[in-house]
Amino acid sequence: MTTITTATTICTSPATAVTRSTTRFCFYRGLPVYCGPRGLPGERDILYRNNGDGTFTDVTARAGIDPQAYYGLGVLWTDYDSDGKLDLYVANDSTPSMLYHNNGDGTFTDVGLAAGVAVSEEGREQAGMGVDAADYDNDGRMDLVKTNFSDDANNLYRNNGDGTFTDVAFPSGFGEVSWPYLGFGVKFLDFDNDGWKDIFVANGHVNPEVDSTSTGITYAERNFLFRNLRQLEILVTNLDSTPDLLRNARSGANHSILVKTIGRESNRNGYGARLEVRAGDLVQWDEVRSCGSYLSASDARCHFGLGASTSIDEMLVRWPSGRADTLKNLPADHILVIEEGKGLLDSIPFRHR
């Protein structure tokens, strides 16, 4: 994006940019558009600690969160290094994204650059939007996905298990097709219940002016569903339009489960619990969370596709409290309600349409 000002603009960093003019013109592909975010003052991300009495305390500075006041967009809690403590990943716009390692003492350390998830493979800052985490390759480690602005590829970060990630967007077939599109929402999900997480991406440009060009870029853009070689629905909100509720009409013989967790020593919803599910030759892992994507929330129940398996051989639930519950011989095609310390509380068969 090209910026033209009627006076001098000093951009030392996103947080300290100073404009000595009230008139600014920005151009994208030769079209006049709104400026930003570069040159505009950033706003520091805020971390609120739950006091357990209906109140929260702002611990941002003490925890070491976002001292540069970057342009934060997508945010995600995930235990990327499997040490039992939730870490924090923030997708920033036009500035390095940040991966905060949980030090276990109320503080965090940004390891994004060292981990390989802050900038592109070429070392460029990207305009990160939506984020999500899942174990898409079933190796027991949480991988990351991030959407970016158009004229850039989305990122698919494979967890190497040593505190670092490798961007496999292009080798996996995820990167090239995303290049001309502007990605916002993103979600790992197993839409065909084969036991391997797929990826849904909600696209849409921010500049309506692109519709007047012949570049092939449009303001309204098609969404992506990447299949990873029971019925899940996707709700997509649209600017100045009604939302789209996408029903999974795919038929097939594969089986699945939904797992609802209830914490006792841990938090009530079991957020942060890690589940390991074994069904036949399939071994899968997931975390209980509802945050992620971009300005979004999802069903906090964990969904596992089971392929042809009609039952689960074993499920291990590791709770945030440190407790672990093991359950065996669970039925497929059910909503399983698991309570911390008690095991299976309820088993509700799926209702077939």
pLDDT in tens, 131-179: 999 999 999 999 999 999 988 999 999 999 999 999 999 999 998 888 8
pLDDT of residue 228: 44
pTM of the model: 0.84
Write out the two tokens for 160: 């190497």
> How wide is the angle at C-alpha 148 spanned by C-alphas 25 and 171, nearest 5°?
140
What is the Cα–Cα distance from 292 to 72, expressed in whole angstroms? 13
Residues 302 and 235 occupy one common structural domain = no
Residues 207 and 278 occupy one common structural domain = no
Report which residue type is found at 239: L
Residues 178 and 74 occupy one common structural domain = yes
Pairing assessment for the beta strands 108-110 and 131-134 based on DSSP bridges: unpaired
Residues 221 and 276 occupy one common structural domain = no
Residues 193 and 71 occupy one common structural domain = yes
- Number of folded domains that form the chain: 2
pLDDT of residue 60: 97
131 in Cβ contact with 72 (< 8 Å): no
Residues 199 and 259 occupy one common structural domain = no
Could you give the C-alpha distances from 115 to 99, 121, 216, 238, in angstroms and in order?
A: 8, 12, 35, 34
pLDDT of residue 59: 97
Higher pLDDT, 119 or 249: 119
Tell me what the pLDDT averaged over the chain comes to: 86
Residues 233 and 288 occupy one common structural domain = no
Average pLDDT (46-63) is 96
Span 291-305, pLDDT tens digits: 888 888 888 999 999
Can you tell me which residue has the tokens 């012949």?
A: 214
Residues 264 and 142 occupy one common structural domain = no
Residues 233 and 311 occupy one common structural domain = no
Residues 105 and 205 occupy one common structural domain = yes
Is 250 part of a structural domain of the chain?
Answer: no
Residues 77 and 197 occupy one common structural domain = yes
**Which structural domain range is residue 89 located in?**
4-10+28-239
Is 246 part of a structural domain of the chain?
Answer: no
Judged against a pLDDT cut of 90, whether residue 341 lies above it is answered with: yes
Q: What is the CATH number of the domain that holds 127?
A: 2.120.10
**3-class DSSP state of 115:** helix
Write out the two tokens for 202: 């909600």
Span 64-99, pLDDT tens digits: 999 999 999 999 999 999 999 999 999 999 999 999
Residues 110 and 151 occupy one common structural domain = yes
